[in-house]
Amino acid sequence: MIEVEVENRSGVEVDEAGAVELARRVLAAEGVDSGELGLVFVTPAESRALKSEHLGIDEPTDALAFPIDGLDALPEGLPRQLGDVVVCPQVVGAEWRAPLVHALLHLLGYDHGPEMEAREAAHR
């Protein structure tokens, strides 16, 4: 089972259970049935700082992915560390599902393009 550690630093109420369920469903559909995932909800200011620091773009964003293992082969017995997904509820608004799916696919190593778009559509 995918272990999801959730932290809400956004200052607003978030459907944490729904986000965890969606993350587990998407990851299972992508062939990931075990591992650890961090899911963090942040303020627009923190989102902006992270995007600026890691991507060099000074603006808040809906979601960011910080992958660790992705879909790489791992030695027997070593738990998969998927990485962290950061979501800003104030940027995504009520429609947080699509940005979360997008960030999860980035964790698994997919880049923007037709393959990612097809995978995103499959998870809607």
Which of these, 16, 14, 82, lies nearest to 6 by C-alpha position? Answer: 16
Query: Which strand (E) or helix (H) includes residue 35?
Result: strand 35-41
pLDDT of residue 3: 93
Give me the chain's average pLDDT, please.
91
pLDDT of residue 93: 87
Report the CATH fold assignment for 2-122: Collagenase (Catalytic Domain) (3.40.390)
* Sign, Cα dihedral of 40, 45, 47, 52: negative
pLDDT of residue 69: 74
Strand-pairing partners, residue 115, are none
| For helices 97-107 and 114-122, angle between their N-to-C axes, nearest 10 degrees | 130
Query: Which strand (E) or helix (H) includes residue 124?
Result: none
pLDDT of residue 76: 80
Report residues of the chain scoring pLDDT below 70: 70
The tokens describing 79, both together, are 């738990």
Integer Cα distance of 73 and 19 in angstroms: 26
Integer Cα distance of 6 and 114 in angstroms: 30
Integer Cα distance of 97 and 111 in angstroms: 18
